[in-house]
Amino acid sequence: MDSTNMSILWTLAAIVMTTLAGNIITKFLRRLNAFAVPIVGVDTGDLNTLKGRYVQEADVLLREGYERFKDSIFQVETPDGPRVFLPRKLANDLKPFNRHEASGMKALADRHIGHYTSIDHESDIMLGAIKIDLNRNLGNFVEDVQHEIAHCFKTQFPPCDEWTPIDLHEKLLRVVAQASARIFVGYPMCRNEEWLECSTKFALDVMTGGEKLKQWHPWLRPIAQYFVPEMTRIRGDHQRALELLLPELEKRSIGSDRTGLKSRNDMIEWMQQRAQKLGDKSFDSKELANLQMLTATAAIHTTRLAIIHALYDLAARPEYIEPLRREVLDVTKDNNGILRKQHLTHMRRLDSFMKESQRHNPPSVATFQRKAMIPIDLSNGFHIPAGTIVQCNTNMLDEAPAEWGDPNGFDGYRFYKLRSKPEDTNKYQFASTSYDSMQFGFGNDACPGRFFASNQIKIILAYILLHYDFKFEDGIVGRPKNLMFEVNVLADPTVKVLFKNAS
């Protein structure tokens, strides 16, 4: 046997031995770290079946856990190992911790092996730009965003003179991406086709690439990442984003030397100003491009999905369409249909419908996820070691307060009615977080972009209500069943909604 063949055999043998050793060590460590709490479905005795159920019907598994263990902690077997689920009441224990102590971002990054997919990158600059600058300026962008949305529908949607099937997943991706880019990178870059493609496909590359790479043993991933096409594309996405952003940054740099130049007032400027204020010497054009990709990923896809869920709910319950359309017309009649910040706050019925749609179709059935960055002891004596990810079983509709009415029924005006009391007029809004509404998280680490998402969703739905009639294609009765991928709730992408210009 020649030396080349011997080398190949030794390499294969080393890989096999490394993998076996890694599996043994991983299983040993897993036993050491196992929690003394029950595992849902363990009586089936088939670990692979349990893992498969978690991928395809996590909502059913969590319902089983809730019905069997109610206010107790339980585990679920997943392809990534056992996961610990806390009852909702223990969310109050985790609420006071800041993101450096119990991090939602780190939990998300671990799920998508973020140190490979590039999303394990928390930035005080990005967080400050979203939490402070973006939220402070949302009202200034309502008309601009509405203008971009109108442009998108006119250029991306078919004429719809007759009933026309629309793939909402595809079309709304562009609408949300362009509307978001108006605030993130400003005009005219928000209409740059290459930028929009780069900022939208990056998230897909992250999710798909992460899932593919997770099929490899952790010890082999440093090498395996180069055999996963999406991982290569992620690196390309970052590089292309930088190349596309550099001319815009150069233009701004030249313009900033001119006196009296009007502020751009967008995410690029806010991040630059924050970096300067913090004295962050590591912040450069490359870092800015990377943060833009991460910001777009956090904003575009979850917002698009919430709009699709709401449209599916409206198409399944057409009796809501005309009253919501009248509300939009009534609040904008003083301004010829052009939206202002105050108009969005006055659309209380639409806000309520959005919140009820999200209550039934949350982004995740375990939205309150945290990675313990420090050891944490819960009020029931349960110890969470540093490095452990826990989540709350947050989507049991039965747990809604009695004053909310039928918890399992769909009432689009549920929160509109709850806000009728003067003392509750500012409660129960779509973007509000509370013990009973954790769709955007809870506590100090709740989603900082939820007010931005609320505005985007409301502006897009208002535009659709004013300009289109819509319904499901023939043969669809009722609300199409959602699909599950682990704890993520997805609207069925095979469903077509028919659009027609409003008469």
Please list the ranges in the chain whose pLDDT falls under 50: 4-9, 11-16, 18-33, 259-261
C-alpha–C-alpha distance, residues 338 and 170, integer Å: 26
Instruction: Check: CB of residue 440 under 8 Å from CB of residue 367.
Output: yes
Binding annotation for heme: 447
pLDDT of residue 30: 43
C-alpha–C-alpha distance, residues 497 and 166, integer Å: 6
58: Cβ contacts below 8 Å, ≥ 6 apart: 76, 365, 366, 484, 486, 487
pLDDT of residue 21: 46
Q: Which domains does the chain have, with CATH numbers?
A: 87-501 (1.10.630.10)
**Upper half-sphere CA count for residue 292 (Cβ side, 13 Å):** 39
C-alpha–C-alpha distance, residues 487 and 472, integer Å: 26
DSSP conformation letters of 325-373: HHHHHHHHGGGTT---HHHHHH-HHHHHHHHHHHHHS-SBTT--EEEES
Instruction: Check: CB of residue 338 under 8 Å from CB of residue 332.
Output: yes
C-alpha–C-alpha distance, residues 265 and 276, integer Å: 16
Return the SS3 of 85. strand
Return the SS3 of 400. coil
Instruction: Check: CB of residue 414 under 8 Å from CB of residue 404.
Output: yes
pLDDT of residue 115: 92
C-alpha–C-alpha distance, residues 363 and 174, integer Å: 20
CA-CA-CA-CA torsion sign (121, 179, 365, 398): positive
pLDDT of residue 34: 63
pLDDT of residue 254: 82
pLDDT of residue 42: 79
Strand partners, 392: 86
Q: Which two tokens stand for residue 128?
A: 């400050």
Instruction: Check: CB of residue 468 under 8 Å from CB of residue 498.
Output: no
Residue with structure tokens 């978001």?
A: 180
pLDDT of residue 387: 93
Residue with structure tokens 């998508």?
A: 112
C-alpha–C-alpha distance, residues 101 and 95, integer Å: 11
C-alpha–C-alpha distance, residues 366 and 441, integer Å: 9
Binding annotation: 447
C-alpha–C-alpha distance, residues 455 and 461, integer Å: 10
pLDDT of residue 179: 96
Question: What's the chain's length in residues?
Answer: 503
